Chain A
Amino acid sequence: MALSSNFWIWIAAILTLAIYSFLYKDNPFYKFAEYLLVGISIGYGISVYWHNTIITKVFNPLVYDKNFLVLIPLLLGLLMFSRFFKNVAYLSRIPIAFVVGAGTGLSVPSSFEFLFKQVYATMPTKLDIGIIIIVIGVISTLIYFFFSLEHKGFVGRVSRVGITFIMVAFGAAFGYTIMARVSLFIGRIQFLLSDWLGIIK
């Protein structure tokens, strides 16, 4: 293994280092990379939209398959652009209302179903220490987040138990978050040491 001779790997390495330079202090190299990223990622998004969505889902069905049913949602979608013309801007609310309304209608029954599955899984089918912990934890956490009741007396004591469970959960999530952040850095070091410098395999 040796130092990379690939032009593109060098570009990637230089951009990586430009961003790490921010750890020392803010500087124009970092700024340049940051803004370049914004531009490139939107440009990439447009390209994928163009080939995968506009061509595949609108142009080809309309031009080659003569599927004119596409026209209705197409017109509805085009209405969104009305927001750029002040006097007809309100027309863009119709497609938005359609997306939000239909999306909500689709989600309500399935969300209920999902909720029931979670509740069902909390029902004790046999008695062991694990399921007891789960039942107590779920109920006390729910009570902690139930602000319509004043957290006093019995309710106060139960919500106190709820906080204890929540702290354990946040602790676990926090420990895992450390792991996640470190992993991201490991990924970059691997690239620099292996693909670019060729120090490790």
Chain B
Amino acid sequence: MRFINFINKLDKRWIYLVLALCIIIPFLFPIGFPMKTTAPVKSIYDFIEDSIPEGGVVLIGADYDPSTMAELHPMAKVIATHALSNNLRVLFVTLYPQGAGMAQDVIENVLREWNNSNPDNQKELGKDITLLAYVPGVSAVVLKMGEDIIETFNEDGYGNKLSDLEVMKEIKNYNDIDLMVELAGSAVVLTWLIYANGRYGLNVGIGTTAVSAAEYYSYLQSKQAIGMLGGLKGAAEYENLLSKKGVYWGRKDATVGMDAQSSAHIFFIILIVLGNIAYFVSKKQKGGR
């Protein structure tokens, strides 16, 4: 029973090391398995592609912080890029101070990549895209936006009066927003669904961490949310849809991670199976005695 002893006494740092290798090696030798687009991802893509007229407005909720950015940052980039490619306007909103920095980083990256690749169709901060100032109050902010967005924030995140900005032209409240995509890994998603969708009828799509994805299927079935990107895989599917359309230029952060994701998942399954073999063998031994 050397095997059982080995498993029971194994220093967990060896497991850490193998997990790290499972993730690093696929980056060095990528395979790139093809992947199918799941329905909840496709419905957000289709909504932006087909249901919003030129000049329409997409609101992106950046309600996450660096702890979940690995999953949600790529989503913010693809949604913003997709909206810009259809000549839609993009507003970022956040209910938490940490989210403002995330949104700022996305805006800077998306604008740079867009303008480098489209010299004859330049996009500008304040004209095509902006970040609304961070204002505390969570549900009060979501509700106030349903009445008057400019009054809610007064200014953008950079200190410009919202009423002077071209990007805010003819935007009064949620009636003038075609779609909101809420990116969060916490219960704040519920705040948007209860207040913005429930009370004001705003179309909401969700981008969430894989931890919460299983939970949010309830809102898809009840049609309170029009679609969902779940975890890094959801972001990767969206990146592929944009690539097919020919409007994605940056590094595909989510897609390149998929091989590593696959190999790490296999490693987890092996760990669970090994652990259970050890458990059943030692249980049998005890029972035999």
Q: Do chains A and B touch in the complex (CB under 8 A)?
A: yes
Binding site for B on A (CB under 8 A): 23-24, 41, 44-45, 48-49, 51-53, 55-57, 60-61, 103, 106-107, 110-111, 113-114, 117-118, 120-121, 134, 169, 172-173, 176-180, 182-190, 193-194, 199-201
- Are A176 and B230 CB-contacts (below 8 A) given A106-B139, A113-B199? yes
CB contacts (< 8 Å) of B127 on chain A: these are none
Lowest 6 CB-CB distances: which A-B pairs, in order?
A: A187-B70, A121-B222, A180-B210, A183-B232, A48-B97, A52-B134
Contact indicator B223/A121 (Cβ below 8 Å): yes
Contact indicator A176/B232 (Cβ below 8 Å): no
- Are A176 and B98 CB-contacts (below 8 A) given A103-B140, A114-B193, A189-B260? no
For the complex, is B187 an interface residue (Cβ under 8 Å from A)?
Answer: no
For the complex, is B257 an interface residue (Cβ under 8 Å from A)?
Answer: yes
Contact indicator B210/A193 (Cβ below 8 Å): no
Contact indicator B199/A177 (Cβ below 8 Å): no
Cα(A60)–Cα(B139), bound, Å: 23
Partner of A186 from B70, B135, B140, B230 at Cβ < 8 Å: B70
For A195, the closest partner residue in chain B by CB is B251
Contact indicator A178/B268 (Cβ below 8 Å): yes
- Are A187 and B222 CB-contacts (below 8 A) given A48-B100, A49-B97? no
For B67, the closest partner residue in chain A by CB is A184
Contact indicator B27/A48 (Cβ below 8 Å): no
Contact indicator A177/B133 (Cβ below 8 Å): no
CB contacts (< 8 Å) of B140 on chain A: these are 103, 106
Partner of B133 from A52, A113, A173, A185 at Cβ < 8 Å: A52
Contact indicator A117/B23 (Cβ below 8 Å): no
For the complex, is B178 an interface residue (Cβ under 8 Å from A)?
Answer: no
Cα(A178)–Cα(B214), bound, Å: 13
Cα(A11)–Cα(B223), bound, Å: 46
Partner of B211 from A51, A107, A176, A199 at Cβ < 8 Å: A176
CB contacts (< 8 Å) of A190 on chain B: these are 27, 253, 256-257
Q: A60-B155, A180-B210, A184-B71 are in contact. List 16 more A-B contacts (CB 8 A).
A: A23-B13, A49-B97, A52-B97, A61-B154, A106-B140, A113-B198, A114-B198, A118-B222, A120-B222, A176-B214, A177-B211, A179-B210, A182-B264, A183-B257, A187-B71, A193-B24
Partner of B136 from A23, A51, A53, A60 at Cβ < 8 Å: A53
CB of B94 to closest CB in A, whole Å: 9
For the complex, is B233 an interface residue (Cβ under 8 Å from A)?
Answer: yes
- Are A111 and B251 CB-contacts (below 8 A) given A61-B154, A106-B143, A190-B257? no
CB contacts (< 8 Å) of A107 on chain B: these are 139, 194
